[in-house]
Structures are given as structure tokens and as C-alpha cells.
Amino acid sequence: MKAKGYIYAALSAAAYGTNPIFAKPLYNDGMNPDSVLLFRYVLAVAVLALMMSYNGFRRGNLAESFRVSRHNLPQLILLGVLMAFSSLTLFVSYNYIPVGIASTLLFVYPILTALIMTLCFHERLSWLVVACLVIACSGIALLCPMEDGAISLSSDFLIGFLVVMLSGLSYAIYLVGLNKTRLRTIASMPVTLYVLIFGTLLFVVRLMFFAPLTLPEHTISWLNLLALGIFPTVVSLICTAKAIQNIGSTQTALLGALEPVTAVILGVIILGETVSLRDIGGMTLIFLAVTLVVYRKK
């Protein structure tokens, strides 16, 4: 069971790392993050509902495939909003900082998960966690732009940094919530479906009051939206839920290292972004810090 959990966690992280290669072309086509994410979530709900319907018909219990207890609805609503907010803030950060750096900064969520477990569930804050916080902050400092030998924090970098930190915090709370509630015992597909449905409502509200709805103009844009709905959404969330069921949220977070690695590689190959030795050093320190935090559980 544990080996299967590690495989699911790795697949989830790698799938989530494909976010920027599908999102950035949509921005270039004139779409805004809220519109991209609305289509992404709606398409993901449709794909997942079709998969669940097929499984239900095959087993002869269609209604059972979609059933969850009404007692679980408040938890599903909260997790849906957290997941949607994490997606929104990550996608907004792509407008301010390179996708590889954004994805690497997002990867501090395992450290945030450890801090939440300490503050809310009385886990002991060890010296190792404190040391890893220092290492991670050093890595973040290396990722900051430099000018004349000193850190130069442009307004774009500061906005991107703060926004992606909010994304990591939301995702950390989501993982803890998924692990510490009754939802952990429910099949992953229904949980994922309702998380996406309730998450969609956040984008509907924002597009009604705060942002204009922009539509894709080309066939390739629709294909990018469909890919966003399948790989970093349906595949990633189902695999995350299955991984947590098998190995828990902390070990699932460790395999999340594949997410920024995937984003960096695809950003260089497909989006033409550059990565300096300084960036690699910063990413390495963050990966090291996260790995040590997660491995302290062993």
C-alpha cells in the first residue's frame, strides 16, 4: 500500500507541475487568471463526472458513486475554497515572476504544513524544523533578483512572492484538512469532484464582481484549457487524495518536489525561460529544507 501511495504522490506532483505550460499561452491569448481557472475547473468537473458515471454504470450503482454525507458538506466547501484560492494565487503569480521560481516558492508548503501541525495539533517544533526554516529562507533570498551585488526587490517580484506564499499556505491548510477530517476515509473521486464544484463558485463570484470574463479565441487555447482540466486538476487531485489515504499528508508533501522540478524543466524547454546558477542554488536549498522537514517524520 505504501509503494502505491508514493507512486500516486509522484504522479500528483508531476501532473501539477504542468500548470504553467498550459496557463501562460492562455494569458498570451488575452485570458485572465479567473477566466482560465473557471474553464479549468468546469472542464475538470465534467471529465471527472464522466469518469464517475462510467464507473457507476459498470458497477450498477450510479447514485452511490456520487453520494457523500451531508455532514461532510461544510468540510468539502471549505476545502473547495482553499483549493480554488491556492490555484488563483498561483496563477496570478505567473504574471509577476518566472514560472520556475513561482513553482519553487510554492514548494515551501510542506514546511508550512509542519508549522500548522505544530500550532494547531500540538506537534513538537523541533530544532530541525527551525533549521529548515532558516535554510528555506536562504534559498528564497538566492531566488531574489540582484543588482550591484545586493538584493533588489522590484514591485513585481514582491507581489509575485507574496501571492505565491498565499498559494502555498492555502494548499498546506488543504492538505492538513484532507488528512485530519473524515474526508480521508471517503473515496478520492467524490471528494475531488465536490472540492472542484465548490471551488468553481469562487471564480464565479469573482467574475461577477471583480474581473471580466475572457473567452479563448483559438482552438489551441481550448486544448490548453482541456489539458489544464485533466492533468494538473483531475489527475493531480485524485492522486493526491489516494496518496494521502496510503501514506499521509507529510510523505505526500515530500514527493511534491517533483512539481517545481517539472515546472522548471518545462518552463525552460517550452516557455523559453532561463535559470541561472544562483536560481539553481536557491531551489536546491528549498528542496533540501523541505526534504529534511518531511524526513523528520521517519
Encode pLDDT of 1-54 as tens digits: 677 878 888 888 888 888 888 888 899 888 999 999 998 899 888 888 888 888
Contact 214, 35 (CB under 8 A): yes
- CB count within 10 Å of CB 278 equals 13
Share of the chain above pLDDT 70, in %: 88
Encode pLDDT of 184-198 as tens digits: 767 677 888 889 999
- pLDDT mean over 206-233: 88
Contact 228, 36 (CB under 8 A): yes
Contact 274, 264 (CB under 8 A): no
Per DSSP, the three-state class of 96 is coil
- Dig out the grid coordinates for 218 from the structure: 483559438
Alpha carbons within 13 A on the beta-carbon side of 233: 33
Arithmetic mean of pLDDT over the chain:
81
Lowest mean pLDDT among 99-103, 107-111, 151-155, 281-285: 151-155
Confidence of residue 233 (pLDDT cuts 50, 70, 90): confident
pTM equals: 0.80
- Give the span between the Cα atoms of 70 and 197, in whole angstroms: 15
Top pLDDT among 11 and 264 is at 11
- Dig out the grid coordinates for 114 from the structure: 509542519
150 strand-pairing partners? 147
DSSP 97: S
CA 203 to chain centre: 16
Instruction: Give the model's pLDDT for residue 153.
Output: 63
Describe the chain by its helix, strand, coil percentages, rounded to 5.
Answer: 80, 0, 20
- Give the span between the Cα atoms of 283 and 293, in whole angstroms: 15
- Give the span between the Cα atoms of 114 and 293, in whole angstroms: 7
Residue found by looking up cell 485524485 in the block: 238
